[in-house]
Chains A and B, each alone.
Chain A
Amino acid sequence: MSSYFDLTSELWKWNSPVWLLVFTLAGLYFLFQRGTSGKRSAAFAVSMLALLLAYVSPIGVLSDGYLFSAHVVQHLLLLLIVPLFLLLSLSESAMESLFSRPLMNRLGSVMAVPFLGWLSGLGVMWFWHIPSFCNASTVNYALGIFRDATFLLAGLAFWWPVFSPVKRYHLNPAVAVAYLFSACLACTLLGIYITFTVISVCPTFASPVDRIGILNMLYDQGLTPATDQRLGGLLMWVPPCSLYVTAIMIILKRWYADIEHVTAPPSTATPGSLREAHQ
Chain B
Amino acid sequence: MNSVIPVLDPASPQAEAINNLFLQVLLISAVIFAIVSGLILIAISRGRRRDTLPEQDFGSEKSEIFWMIGPVIIVIWLVAISANLVITLNAIPHADPDGKTNFNDVDLIVTGHQWWWEVKYPKSGVITANEIYMPADKDKKFRILVTSADVIHCFWVPQLGRKIDAIPGRDNYIWLQATNPGSYQGRCSEYCGAQHAWMNFKVYAVTDEEFQKWEASEKQATEQPKLLSPLAKDDKLAAEGKKYFFQATCPQCHTIQGTKAEATIGPDLTHFARRKEIGAGVIENTPENLALWLKNPQALKPGCKMPDFKLSETNLKQLVAYLETLK
Q: Residues of A at under 8 Å CB distance from B?
A: 206, 215-216, 219, 222, 224-227
Contact partners of B97 in chain A: CB under 8 A: 215-216, 219, 224
Q: What is the CA–CA distance of A226 and B99 in the complex, to the nearest angstrom?
A: 6
Distance in angstroms from B167 CB to nearest chain A CB is 15
Q: What is the CA–CA distance of A52 and B95 in the complex, to the nearest angstrom?
A: 34
From 98 to 121 in chain B, residues with beta carbon under 8 angstroms from any chain A beta carbon are 99
Please, which residue of chain A has its CB at the minimum distance from the CB of B97? A219
Q: What is the CA–CA distance of A225 and B99 in the complex, to the nearest angstrom?
A: 6
Contact partners of B96 in chain A: CB under 8 A: 224
Choose among A206, A215, A226 the residue with the greatest number of B CB atoms under 10 Å from its CB.
Answer: A226
A-B contact pairs, 13 of them (CB 8 A): A206-B99, A215-B97, A216-B97, A219-B97, A222-B95, A224-B95, A224-B96, A224-B97, A224-B99, A225-B99, A226-B95, A226-B99, A227-B95
From 254 to 288 in chain B, residues with beta carbon under 8 angstroms from any chain A beta carbon are none
- 11 new A-B contacts at CB < 8 Å, known A219-B97, A226-B99: A206-B99, A215-B97, A216-B97, A222-B95, A224-B95, A224-B96, A224-B97, A224-B99, A225-B99, A226-B95, A227-B95
Distance in angstroms from B69 CB to nearest chain A CB is 17
Q: Top 9 nearest A-B pairs by Cβ distance?
A: A226-B99, A224-B95, A219-B97, A225-B99, A224-B99, A224-B97, A226-B95, A227-B95, A206-B99
Please, which residue of chain B has its CB at the minimum distance from the CB of A224? B95
Q: What is the CA–CA distance of A206 and B99 in the complex, to the nearest angstrom?
A: 9
Choose among A219, A224, A225, A227 the residue with the greatest number of B CB atoms under 10 Å from its CB.
Answer: A224
Contact partners of A215 in chain B: CB under 8 A: 97
Distance in angstroms from A223 CB to nearest chain B CB is 10
Distance in angstroms from A213 CB to nearest chain B CB is 14
Q: What is the CA–CA distance of A226 and B96 in the complex, to the nearest angstrom?
A: 10
Contact partners of A216 in chain B: CB under 8 A: 97
From 12 to 30 in chain B, residues with beta carbon under 8 angstroms from any chain A beta carbon are none
Q: What is the CA–CA distance of A216 and B95 in the complex, to the nearest angstrom?
A: 13
Please, which residue of chain A has its CB at the minimum distance from the CB of B96? A224
The interface residues of chain B, by DSSP majority, are classed as loop
Q: Residues of B at under 8 Å CB distance from A?
A: 95-97, 99
Contact partners of A222 in chain B: CB under 8 A: 95
Q: What is the CA–CA distance of A211 and B97 in the complex, to the nearest angstrom?
A: 17
Distance in angstroms from B54 CB to nearest chain A CB is 24
Contact partners of A224 in chain B: CB under 8 A: 95-97, 99
Distance in angstroms from A253 CB to nearest chain B CB is 9
Please, which residue of chain A has its CB at the minimum distance from the CB of B61? A253
Q: What is the CA–CA distance of A219 and B95 in the complex, to the nearest angstrom?
A: 9
Distance in angstroms from B132 CB to nearest chain A CB is 28
Distance in angstroms from A36 CB to nearest chain B CB is 26
Q: What is the CA–CA distance of A176 and B99 in the complex, to the nearest angstrom?
A: 42
Q: What is the CA–CA distance of A227 and B97 in the complex, to the nearest angstrom?
A: 11
Contact partners of A225 in chain B: CB under 8 A: 99
Contact partners of B95 in chain A: CB under 8 A: 222, 224, 226-227
Q: What is the CA–CA distance of A227 and B96 in the complex, to the nearest angstrom?
A: 11
Q: What is the CA–CA distance of A118 and B96 in the complex, to the nearest angstrom?
A: 40
Distance in angstroms from A79 CB to nearest chain B CB is 25
Q: What is the CA–CA distance of A226 and B101 in the complex, to the nearest angstrom?
A: 10
Distance in angstroms from B16 CB to nearest chain A CB is 24
Distance in angstroms from A10 CB to nearest chain B CB is 20
Distance in angstroms from A252 CB to nearest chain B CB is 13
Distance in angstroms from B241 CB to nearest chain A CB is 51
Please, which residue of chain A has its CB at the minimum distance from the CB of B95? A224
Distance in angstroms from A206 CB to nearest chain B CB is 7
Distance in angstroms from B166 CB to nearest chain A CB is 20
Contact partners of A227 in chain B: CB under 8 A: 95
Q: What is the CA–CA distance of A26 and B188 in the complex, to the nearest angstrom?
A: 63
Distance in angstroms from B105 CB to nearest chain A CB is 16
Q: What is the CA–CA distance of A225 and B95 in the complex, to the nearest angstrom?
A: 10
Q: What is the CA–CA distance of A194 and B161 in the complex, to the nearest angstrom?
A: 31
Contact partners of A226 in chain B: CB under 8 A: 95, 99
Contact partners of A219 in chain B: CB under 8 A: 97
Distance in angstroms from A139 CB to nearest chain B CB is 20
Q: What is the CA–CA distance of A216 and B96 in the complex, to the nearest angstrom?
A: 11
Q: What is the CA–CA distance of A222 and B95 in the complex, to the nearest angstrom?
A: 8
Distance in angstroms from B299 CB to nearest chain A CB is 46
Q: What is the CA–CA distance of A252 and B96 in the complex, to the nearest angstrom?
A: 49
Please, which residue of chain B has its CB at the minimum distance from the CB of A219? B97
Q: What is the CA–CA distance of A222 and B93 in the complex, to the nearest angstrom?
A: 11
Please, which residue of chain B has its CB at the minimum distance from the CB of A206? B99
Q: What is the CA–CA distance of A219 and B96 in the complex, to the nearest angstrom?
A: 8
Contact partners of A206 in chain B: CB under 8 A: 99
Q: What is the CA–CA distance of A106 and B182 in the complex, to the nearest angstrom?
A: 78
Distance in angstroms from A102 CB to nearest chain B CB is 41
Distance in angstroms from B59 CB to nearest chain A CB is 12
Distance in angstroms from A117 CB to nearest chain B CB is 30
Q: What is the CA–CA distance of A227 and B87 in the complex, to the nearest angstrom?
A: 13
Choose among A206, A215, A219 the residue with the greatest number of B CB atoms under 10 Å from its CB.
Answer: A219
Please, which residue of chain A has its CB at the minimum distance from the CB of B90? A222
Q: What is the CA–CA distance of A189 and B256 in the complex, to the nearest angstrom?
A: 51
Q: What is the CA–CA distance of A215 and B97 in the complex, to the nearest angstrom?
A: 9
